[in-house]
């Protein structure tokens, strides 16, 4: 099967939050039921694109995130398709009880945007770096959890989440500009992960901004004679069990990488599949059970073990474990 990403080509750095905002706007143009709910940071999460185009369909409720979620649930009950976005530490954690009872328990189609996800938020520091949101959101019944790899995919995923899905949806995205390397004609299915690179020595499963780092690491490994399969797990729930099972069976070793705590995140979700379907050695990279700090994104990724270099090192370690198992 031909991979959709034959080589790394950055069209230009662009924040995934821009893709989210563009996706909301495109969905609203096609669906008059789409309404927006904001919590006083409309521009930061790029909901201003929607608010400017459809001011009568946007409700700014101030810094009252729990109230915003309750209002969004009420709007959904009345047949609207509400989109609520703020920083992930607030939309996924400050509002958890409201998401659980008002939205998920009733299986309402509320689309929740979690901005400033991951350590790469940088200077805003630990209080604004969403690093536990995947664990919380994927544990809630009826919730779909999406983590696009770049701005283009964020736009596509957001529009589809609003107009093609039903039930609660959580979309996480970042603040800083990152490589935008996918194309708009790349097939996107919430139920199917994307194979970005062939390889049979090991598999690297990445999500969000870390997919670019995984691709860079795979290229470096190739120069050393190690061919890594790279999978973009853009949807963490529902998880693509078959692609993961096939990767475990055919490559015999898996490295996961995410901008999230190692406990309960994407790596844990993959491990739940692997241990049941086809157990193989795994290394899980992410935040090592600690809070972040202020700093430049690249420096933080390196310090906390989420750079291409660290992925490469984990791959070399997992190959040693694979050989020892044999």
Q: Given this model, what pLDDT does residue 210 score?
A: 97
Backbone angles phi, psi at 244, to 5 degrees: -70, -45
Whether residue 136 is found in the same domain as residue 218:
no
**By C-alpha distance, which of 208, 224, 170, 172 is closest to 285?**
208
**In what order do the strands lie in the sheet containing 202-206?**
194-197, 228-232, 202-206, 254-261, 282-287
Q: Given this model, what pLDDT does residue 264 score?
A: 97
- To the nearest 10 degrees (0 to 180), the angle between helices 241-251 and 266-277 is 70
Given pLDDT bands bounded at 50, 70 and 90, which one contains residue 4?
A: low
Number of independent structural domains in the chain: 2
Distance between CA atoms of 60 and 251, rounded to whole angstroms?
50
Q: Given this model, what pLDDT does residue 305 score?
A: 94
Q: Given this model, what pLDDT does residue 13 score?
A: 93
Given pLDDT bands bounded at 50, 70 and 90, which one contains residue 323?
A: confident
Distance between CA atoms of 147 and 73, rounded to whole angstroms?
22
How many residues in total does the chain contain? 326
Does residue 51 lie in a domain region? yes
CB 283 within 8 A of CB 317: yes
Over the stretch 119-152, which tens digit does the pLDDT of each residue have? Answer: 999 888 999 999 999 999 999 999 999 999 999 9
Residue where a domain terminates, one of 121, 145, 179: 179
> What letter does residue 213 receive in the DSSP assignment?
H
Over the stretch 12-54, which tens digit does the pLDDT of each residue have? Answer: 999 999 999 999 999 999 999 999 999 989 999 999 999 999 9
Over the stretch 259-272, which tens digit does the pLDDT of each residue have? Answer: 999 999 999 999 99
The helix or strand, by DSSP H or E, that contains position 256, with its residue range, turns out to be strand 254-261
Average pLDDT value over all residues in the chain: 95
Residue where a domain terminates, one of 179, 204, 226: 179
Residue 69, domain CATH? 3.40.50.970
Backbone angles phi, psi at 119, to 5 degrees: -75, -20
Mean pLDDT for 162-167 is 98
273 pLDDT above the threshold of 80: yes
Given pLDDT bands bounded at 50, 70 and 90, which one contains residue 1?
A: very low
Whether residue 234 is found in the same domain as residue 126:
no
> What letter does residue 8 receive in the DSSP assignment?
-
Whether residue 143 is found in the same domain as residue 211:
no
Q: Give percent helix, percent strand, percent coil of the chain, each to the nearest 5.
A: 45, 20, 35
Q: Which residue has the higher pLDDT, 234 or 122?
A: 234
Whether residue 155 is found in the same domain as residue 222:
no
Whether residue 104 is found in the same domain as residue 217:
no
Distance between CA atoms of 117 and 190, rounded to whole angstroms?
20
List beta partners, residue 83: 36, 111
Does residue 189 lie in a domain region? no
How many CB atoms are closer than 10 A to CB 165?
16
3-state secondary structure of 268: helix
Residue 260, domain CATH? 3.40.50.920
> What letter does residue 127 receive in the DSSP assignment?
G
Whether residue 111 is found in the same domain as residue 231:
no
2 pLDDT above the threshold of 80: no
List beta partners, residue 144: 169
> What letter does residue 192 receive in the DSSP assignment?
B
Whether residue 309 is found in the same domain as residue 254:
yes
Over the stretch 286-318, which tens digit does the pLDDT of each residue have? Answer: 999 999 999 999 999 999 999 999 999 999 999
Instruction: Write down the H helix ranges in the chain.
Output: 16-30, 48-53, 65-77, 88, 96-98, 133-138, 151-163, 210-223, 241-251, 266-277, 297-303, 308-325
Over the stretch 97-120, which tens digit does the pLDDT of each residue have? Answer: 999 999 999 999 999 999 999 999
Distance between CA atoms of 142 and 78, rounded to whole angstroms?
19
177 pLDDT above the threshold of 60: yes
Does residue 7 lie in a domain region? no
Instruction: Write down the H helix ranges in 121-206.
Output: 133-138, 151-163
CB 264 within 8 A of CB 134: yes
Q: Give this prediction's pTM.
A: 0.96
Distance between CA atoms of 90 and 96, rounded to whole angstroms?
9
Please give the torsion angle defined by the CA atoms of residues 297, 299, 305 and 306, in that order, rounded to the nearest 10 degrees: 30
Q: Given this model, what pLDDT does residue 324 score?
A: 79
Given pLDDT bands bounded at 50, 70 and 90, which one contains residue 325?
A: confident
Whether residue 172 is found in the same domain as residue 29:
yes
Whether residue 24 is found in the same domain as residue 162:
yes
Distance between CA atoms of 83 and 59, rounded to whole angstroms?
10
Residues spanned by the domain of 157: 13-179
Q: Given this model, what pLDDT does residue 326 score?
A: 60
């Amino acid at each position: 099967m031909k991979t959709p990403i034959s080589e790394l080509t950055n069209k230009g750095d662009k924040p995934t939050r821009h893709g989210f905002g563009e996706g909301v706007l495109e969905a609203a143009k096609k669906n008059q039921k789409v309404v927006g709910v904001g919590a006083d940071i409309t521009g930061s999460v790029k909901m201003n694109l929607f608010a400017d185009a459809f001011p009568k369909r946007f409700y700014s409720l101030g810094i009252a995130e729990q109230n915003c979620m309750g209002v969004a649930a009420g709007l959904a009950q009345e047949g609207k398709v509400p989109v609520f976005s703020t920083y992930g530490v607030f939309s996924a954690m400050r509002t958890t009880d409201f998401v659980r009872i008002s939205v998920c328990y009733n299986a309402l189609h509320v689309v929740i945007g979690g901005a400033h996800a991951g350590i790469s938020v940088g200077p805003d520091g630990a209080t604004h770096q969403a690093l536990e949101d995947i664990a919380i959101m994927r544990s809630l019944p009826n919730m779909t959890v999406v983590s696009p790899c770049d701005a283009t995919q964020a736009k596509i995923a957001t529009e589809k989440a609003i107009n093609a899905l039903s039930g609660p949806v959580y979309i996480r995205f970042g603040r800083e500009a990152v490589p935008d390397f996918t194309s708009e004609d790349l097939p996107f299915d919430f139920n199917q992960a994307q194979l970005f690179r062939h390889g049979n020595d090991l598999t690297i499963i990445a999500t969000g901004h870390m997919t670019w780092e995984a691709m860079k690491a795979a290229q470096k490994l190739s120069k050393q004679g190690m061919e890594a399969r790279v999978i973009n797990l853009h949807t963490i729930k529902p998880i693509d069990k078959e692609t993961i099972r096939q990767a475990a069976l055919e490559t015999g070793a898996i490295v996961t990488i995410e901008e999230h705590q190692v406990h309960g995140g994407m790596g844990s979700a993959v491990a739940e599949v692997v241990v049941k379907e086809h157990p193989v050695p795994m290394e899980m990279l992410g935040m090592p059970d600690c809070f972040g700090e202020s700093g430049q994104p690249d420096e933080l990724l390196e310090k906390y073990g989420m750079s291409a270099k660290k992925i490469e090192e984990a791959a070399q370690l997992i190959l040693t474990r694979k050989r020892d198992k044999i």
